[in-house]
Amino acid sequence: MKEKLQRIQEEAAKRIQESDSLEKLNEVRVAFLGKKGELTAVLKGMKDVAPEDRPKVGQWVNEARAEIEVLLEETKKKLEGEALEKKLREEVIDVTLPAKKMEVGHRHPNTIALEEVERIFIGMGYEVVEGPEVEYDLYNFEKLNIPDGHPAKDEQDTFYISKDIVLRTQTSPVQARVMEQGKLPIRMIAPGRVFRSDEVDATHSPSFHQIEGLVVDKHITFADLKGTLEEFAKELFGPETKTKFRPHHFPFTEPSAEVDVSCFKCGGKGCRFCKGSGWIEILGCGMVHPHVLEMCGVDPNEYTGFAFGVGLERIALLKYEIDDMRLLYENDTRFLRQF
Ligand code: DAH
């Protein structure tokens, strides 16, 4: 019996020595000390040993077991040490490498331009409001004096959600929504995204932004409109800026005008930027049509108002001298970083 245990012990020692990983070491532990291990088998065979010999044999088994356990433990420590060293060697940290830069974002040129416009109008006592991008045909067209079949509806073709619901083609429907709330007087601007079924090119996009303006009060005249927009142009493009009101037509204003500003590049002499004319078109405006006031619940005999609509991208392109609108949407940080 003694020899058998000796042999088992030697065999275990040999296999422990040969183990070059913690997994293999564990396999050895199971093979000798596990439930079906060799040493355990000896213990199970105890019943065949003469009763007087049992204590001695039991002691031998325990001794053999203890020795194997010591060997296992030592080898385990050794292998763990080696594994740790290997890990440390493989995961060297080179503290001399340059650190990863934190990319800090910043506002988009559209946002910068919008905040500038908002600052100017808030300074004149205006409120900033918003309306829905998915809009009823009723607000986008009907209440703005653009009934079914009106040619203006054709010019502003858009994306239809249903027969009565569209992606708004302009921010002007917010005028109707604010007037309908019935709180007068009104001084508001309404910035937001608008949609048209336009092809993408340097000056067009199926989705762009406008800023609507609306003032409704007693005794509002075209002089108020002129003074307000002149002030706006001077604040936005510099104190030397002149404005020119050209007669135009919009269905929801009467009279209507388009506003040009003197070219802030050449001061009006004519250059490449203003295509030689000295003037740059920036917005549409007019006195709110009495019929529109009426449809939105405002008494045109008591109240008058003016409105205007500015293209936000147009302002951003002009202000930052960008010659292609597509650059604003490509999210190329090398471009955006410049503003
Ligand atoms: N909604 C017009 C457009 O998209 C722009 C506009 C013109 C708005 C005149 C106005 C206005 O409020 O008075 O073409």
> pLDDT tens digits, residue range 225-252?
999 999 999 999 999 999 999 999 999 9
| Residue to mutate, 204, 259, 308, 314, ligand 1, most ligand atoms under 8 Å from C-beta | 308
| Residue to mutate, 222, 252, 258, 289, ligand 1, most ligand atoms under 8 Å from C-beta | 252
Write out the E strands in the chain.
Answer: 127-128, 134-136, 165-167, 186-195, 207-217, 243-250, 253-262, 279-288, 304-311
Q: Model pTM greater than 0.85?
A: no
Give pairs for 297-302: CB < 8 Å, separation 24+.
297/179, 297/180, 297/182, 298/179, 298/184, 298/216, 302/218
**Mean pLDDT within 157-182:** 96
CA 250 to chain CA centroid, Å, is: 35
Query: Using an 8 Å Cβ cutoff, are 337 and 144 in contact?
Result: no
- Taking the centre of ligand 1 as the mean of its atom positions, its distance from the CA of residue 318, in whole angstroms, is 19
Prior bond of 206 cis (ω within 30°): no
The pLDDT of residue 36 is above 90: no
pLDDT of residue 227: 98
Nearest-angstrom CA–CA distance, 300 and 216: 10
pLDDT of residue 6: 87
Cα-flanking dihedrals φ and ψ of residue 136, to 5°? -70, 140
Residue recorded with tokens 């808030």: 122
Question: Measured over all CA atoms, what is the biggest interatomic distance in the chain, rounded to whole angstroms?
Answer: 125
Pocket, ligand 1, Cβ cutoff 6 A: 170, 172, 212, 250, 253, 284-286, 307-309
Closest CA to 185 of 308, 292, 306, 309: 306
Cα-flanking dihedrals φ and ψ of residue 252, to 5°? -100, 0
Q: Pick the residue whose CA is nearest to atom 12 on ligand 1.
A: 308
Q: C-alpha angle with apex 34: 33 to 37, nearest 5 degrees? A: 70
Task: Express each pLDDT in 41-61 by its tens digit.
Answer: 887 888 888 888 888 888 888
Q: Pick the residue whose CA is nearest to atom 8 on ligand 1.
A: 309
pLDDT, greater one: 2 or 284: 284
Q: C-alpha angle with apex 210: 206 to 216, nearest 5 degrees? A: 145
Nearest-angstrom CA–CA distance, 240 and 236: 11
Closest CA to 245 of 205, 278, 286: 286
pLDDT of residue 159: 92
Q: Give the three-class secondary structure for 248.
A: strand
Given pLDDT bands bounded at 50, 70 and 90, which one contains residue 295? very high
- Taking the centre of ligand 1 as the mean of its atom positions, its distance from the CA of residue 172, in whole angstroms, is 6
The pLDDT of residue 143 is above 90: yes
* Residues above pLDDT 90, as percent of the chain: 61
